[in-house]
A and B are shown apart, each in its own frame.
Chain A
């Protein structure tokens, strides 16, 4: 009864809104349709329609995966203080962080799907017992467990809390806090495992570094909170959801620290690669300077690093970091800069030159770009839906209509909220 009401009110929440909202969702749907048709074309014709080849056997899809796993893992930056350390500033934002994690994981799984030949029917082989999950040997098998487990955790915990609020109960700590601890550890491990996937084999010198795991974490804790700041600023400006200045300030500090650590690690890698260049440095040379006429990635990585350095500098200057006019563009730059550095700046040059010294460059095709934009639209779509469902419940605007006595007299039943959704900014009626 309550559950049906929950679904109905969620459906109502995501389907009603102002013109901007409908335009936004319509636009995302259009991009998703383009991406979907690109994927259909790829799945029926095969991976030959991508720019990948025997030399560069992973491309844009795995690049995005490496980046987005980090964004998902970064939810821990809010989850740990809010639930474990009982930080009041993050208590309101944490649900949004979990929403970002879910959206990022959906994108991760979509990118893994896109990276596979044909449709993913063959994946029944990844299930234990029926198939053969090569665990614990294969790092990819670990990643399958890590990604799916983290997705379930990040769906289940917020759902339990939201549903409790919806049905007028206070969520019981002993029921969800153990899972919070689990998800904190899980967050770190999903990203480390993804790093180990690259770092462990000795075949690719650019990846084969013990620093890769920590570097992944540092860049994740930069890009993730940077995105959270953008999201929180947006929600703050459009709704009356109470996000304190303190929450944003704390997140900005975390981002500033992580961005500096990330740059230190980048510097450490650069010194290692270029102080005494050996064969080990060929991929790094290709990435930063190009090898002969092969220099496709040079403008990308230089742009990415310039963005990271500039944004980190802004965040390091207190008055600028506290000023939203500087903070927001700095966070956007960090997010984009790390996407370049960790995505195309890490996965693709790992394959160039090949282990036998041959240089074959990679250029993504329109199909790959279409699929990629489609998946990003899918992620934003999922995030919008989650925010749309969670916020009214957390604000206390939406409660189950089957409650005998409303625990909060200000609470409005779902039907009455229709008008509120028309206005972009929900108003508590009473």
Chain B
């Protein structure tokens, strides 16, 4: 485990105050709600024992532990391991899913950046499809992190795009512009969270602790790129389409009532792989890489192509650039 996992050590200095608070929350919480637990246990004891199978009791126990779990950034490495074990077991008990949830930290010397080639994108939306499958997005609500806007060549106004087109592509005289979370260097969605459930990792990815999120949706109102989605209903993913390769901060099961967003496929990219959307793109319109590596393709694009970003005047500093050939 790197230093970021240790609550006492500061790696991401920007809002590191969070990490410096060494109060053992768990103990305080246990004290505070211990009485409630005792009460519930007493109430449970009165119910006939046959009503609860060992599995149901385990489920209740795990759910209680999940409810009272710490903020992810305040967990010790051991607590993270325990949390992940609990989540994996819950996935098994709830949906009979066998998943592995990683807690891989940001790698030192890595800052992710993304570039989108407007000349190459033909609007096939294979990226959207790949994203849905890779990130276990809610099939019932048809949640999508990526929007592809079809635009008239003569119109550069973002609001004139159509993201709901249903016809054969590409169409002459139209171009396609994809949006997703831009992992801004100055993310407006982060400071608004009343419980600090969303933050920026050292590698630039803005993440959410789904378990800590209270669902107030202040971040959704604050995002100038409409990058965040909310689980209004319980999300559904068919078992046979489930991606079991998961990350705590990424594509693991979300609960009803929490926000979610694109994480540049954190479970893949932290292991040196490309995001699913980049891999799925049939035209090579998507470029992804380490901004700190001078030999990376993304650096080459930034240095040799005319690039722009959306709503640059806001000062959000997206790490997502658009370019043309």
Contacts and interface: CB of A to CB of B under 8 A. Distances in A.
Q: Are chains A and B native binding partners rather than an unrelated pairing?
A: yes
Interface of A: 46-48, 50, 52-55, 57-58, 115-118, 121-126, 129-134, 137-141, 144, 197-198, 200-204, 279, 282, 350-351, 353-358
A46 B220 contact: no
A355 B28 CA distance: 42
B178 to A, nearest CB: 11
B193 A138 contact: yes
Contacts of B221: 57-58, 198, 201, 203-204, 350-351
B65 to A, nearest CB: 14
B324 interface: no
Contact of B161 (A125, A130, A357): A357
Given A53-B232, A58-B221, A354 B226 contact: yes
A36 to B, nearest CB: 20
A223 B256 CA distance: 37
Contacts of B217: 57-58, 115
Interface in B201-226: 212, 214-218, 220-226
B157 A46 contact: no
B216 A356 contact: no
Contact of A279 (B74, B143, B157, B316): B157
Given A134-B196, A351-B221, A52 B214 contact: no
A124 B71 CA distance: 12
Nearest to B25: A130
A282 B159 contact: yes
Contacts of A358: 163, 226
Nearest to B218: A140
B32 interface: yes
9 contacts: A46-B256, A54-B228, A58-B221, A129-B23, A129-B28, A131-B195, A140-B218, A202-B316, A355-B226
Interface of B: 15, 18, 23, 25, 28-29, 32-33, 67, 71, 74, 143, 147, 149, 157-161, 163, 179, 188, 191-197, 212, 214-218, 220-226, 228-230, 232-234, 256-258, 311, 314-316
Given A46-B232, A351-B221, A357-B158, A125 B212 contact: yes
* Residue picked from A55, A130, A140, A204, most chain B C-beta under 10 Å: A130
User: Binding site of A, secondary structure by majority: helix, strand, loop or mixed?
Assistant: loop
Contacts of B212: 125, 132
B70 to A, nearest CB: 9
A117 B195 contact: no
B216 A140 contact: yes
A350 B158 CA distance: 17
* Residue picked from B226, B257, B314, most chain A C-beta under 10 Å: B226
Contacts of A141: 194
Contacts of A55: 226
A116 B160 contact: no
A55 B230 CA distance: 10
A122 B212 CA distance: 8
Given A118-B257, A129-B28, A355-B224, A202 B314 contact: yes
User: What are the 3 A-B residue pairs with the smallest beta carbon separation, nearest first?
Assistant: A357-B159, A117-B257, A48-B233
A122 B74 CA distance: 17
Contacts of B257: 46-47, 116-118
B316 to A, nearest CB: 8
Contacts of B214: 116, 122-123, 125-126
Contacts of A121: 67
B29 A124 contact: yes
A361 to B, nearest CB: 15
B194 A356 contact: no
* Residue picked from B74, B197, B214, most chain A C-beta under 10 Å: B214
Contacts of A125: 71, 195, 197, 212, 214
Given A129-B23, A130-B32, A350-B221, A54 B179 contact: no
A282 B157 CA distance: 12
Contacts of A126: 194-195, 214
B310 to A, nearest CB: 9
Contacts of A48: 232-233, 256
A115 B216 contact: yes
Contacts of B33: 124
A353 B224 CA distance: 12
A197 B194 CA distance: 11
B130 to A, nearest CB: 20
Contact of A203 (B18, B71, B222, B229): B222
A118 B257 CA distance: 7
A279 B71 CA distance: 39
Nearest to B73: A132
A139 B221 CA distance: 13
A54 B219 CA distance: 12
B233 A46 contact: yes
Contacts of A355: 223-226, 311
A132 B191 CA distance: 13
Nearest to B144: A54
A137 B218 CA distance: 13
A52 B258 CA distance: 14
A356 B159 contact: yes
Nearest to A205: B224
A46 B196 CA distance: 23
Contact of A46 (B143, B149, B234): B234
Contact of B224 (A52, A123, A202): A202
Given A118-B257, A203-B222, A355-B226, A132 B195 contact: yes
A84 B257 CA distance: 46
Given A46-B257, A52-B232, A117-B257, A130 B29 contact: yes
Given A46-B234, A126-B194, A202-B188, 17 more contacts: A46-B257, A53-B232, A124-B32, A124-B33, A132-B71, A132-B212, A133-B194, A134-B191, A137-B191, A137-B192, A141-B194, A201-B188, A201-B221, A203-B188, A203-B221, A279-B157, A357-B158
A356 B146 CA distance: 12
A58 B216 CA distance: 9
Contacts of B232: 46-48, 50, 52-54
A356 B188 contact: no
B194 A140 contact: yes
